[in-house]
Amino acid sequence: GENVEQHPSTLSVQEGDSAVIKCTYSDSASNYFPWYKQELGKRPQLIIDIRSNVGEKKDQRIAVTLNKTAKHFSLHITETQPEDSAVYFCAASNNNDMRFGAGTRLTVKP
Amino acid sequence: GAGVSQSPRYKVAKRGQDVALRCDPISGHVSLFWYQQALGQGPEFLTYFQNEAQLDKSGLPSDRFFAERPEGSVSTLKIQRTQQEDSAVYLCASSLRFTEQYFGPGTRLTVT
């Protein structure tokens, strides 16, 4: 089955800096890669996703890149703000199920 | 419109008790997923329904876990003879197609 690994597990940046979170997956059949943001005690919220037919997608300060050959994808947050502080999860789906990474706790220091 | 709802939000059970957790998906969403999230971990896949059909239950940790969605809308996750290691947040998610999943608020289960 699919195995998703996520790094780093914790990330601390200064406000205004960029943050990068990386994930790798094992199933070459995976074709959909969402990223979720989860604040303490709340439900995961989809922030951006990418499908296997594109290499990059951007939405304001958030971008995701996908390298299918290497089976890895990354989340990039620019101009970080304190409200970006949360746990971020990557996931990979092959249309049969979805597997999540273990999460990255991002702290943005003002 | 209304999002995914789950009930109860919190459940405390004594070890050995049975519990039932309910998920109301977004209306019209054919796919429904259950996940278990331990503290500080990512959601772990439990099972997946397409309408009333349970297409994948490979993530259910033991035969004490059972899920159903008899009419293709509301789903119930049942845990029999609860054990302390069952303590976690149980998340339900639904999607119109398989891709974008929308999560409910979760049920926090504590087994004492």
pLDDT at B61: 94
Q: Cβ of B42 and A1 within 8 Å?
A: no
Q: Please tell me which residue of chain A has the smallest CA distance to B45.
A: A99
pLDDT at A54: 85
Among chain A, residues having any CB pair with chain B shorter than 8 Å are 1, 6, 32, 34, 36, 42-46, 49, 51, 89, 93, 95-103
| Euclidean distance between CA atoms B26 and A71, whole angstroms | 32
| Euclidean distance between CA atoms A107 and A101, whole angstroms | 18
The verdict on B106 touching A (C-beta cutoff 8 Å) is: yes
Q: Token pair for residue B63? A: 């035969």
Q: Which residues in chain A have their CB less than 8 angstroms from residue B42's CB?
A: 6, 89, 100-103
CA B2 to chain CA centroid, Å, is: 18
Q: Cβ of A34 and B56 within 8 Å?
A: no
Mean pLDDT of A68-96: 94
- Other beta carbons within 10 angstroms of residue B99's beta carbon come to 16
Tell me the three state secondary structure of residue A72.
strand
pLDDT at B1: 56
- Other beta carbons within 10 angstroms of residue B17's beta carbon come to 14
Residue A104 confidence class, pLDDT cut points 50, 70, 90:
very high
pLDDT at A41: 86
Q: Token pair for residue B47? A: 């099972």
Residue among A105, A78, A109 nearest A6 (CA): A105
- Other beta carbons within 10 angstroms of residue B81's beta carbon come to 11
pLDDT in tens, chain B (112 residues): 579 999 999 999 999 999 999 999 999 999 999 999 998 888 999 999 999 999 989 899 999 999 999 999 999 999 999 999 999 999 999 998 767 899 999 999 999 9
Residue A2 confidence class, pLDDT cut points 50, 70, 90:
confident
Q: What is the mean pLDDT of chain A?
A: 94
pLDDT at B98: 65
Q: Cβ of B55 and A95 within 8 Å?
A: no
Residue among A47, A30, A59 nearest B103 (CA): A47
pLDDT at A97: 78
Tell me the three state secondary structure of residue B84.
helix
Residue among A57, A99, A40, A86 nearest B106 (CA): A40
Q: Which residues in chain B have their CB less than 8 angstroms from residue A101's CB?
A: 42
pLDDT at B2: 79
Q: What is the pLDDT of residues A18-52, one digit of tens each?
A: 999 999 999 999 999 999 999 988 999 999 999 98
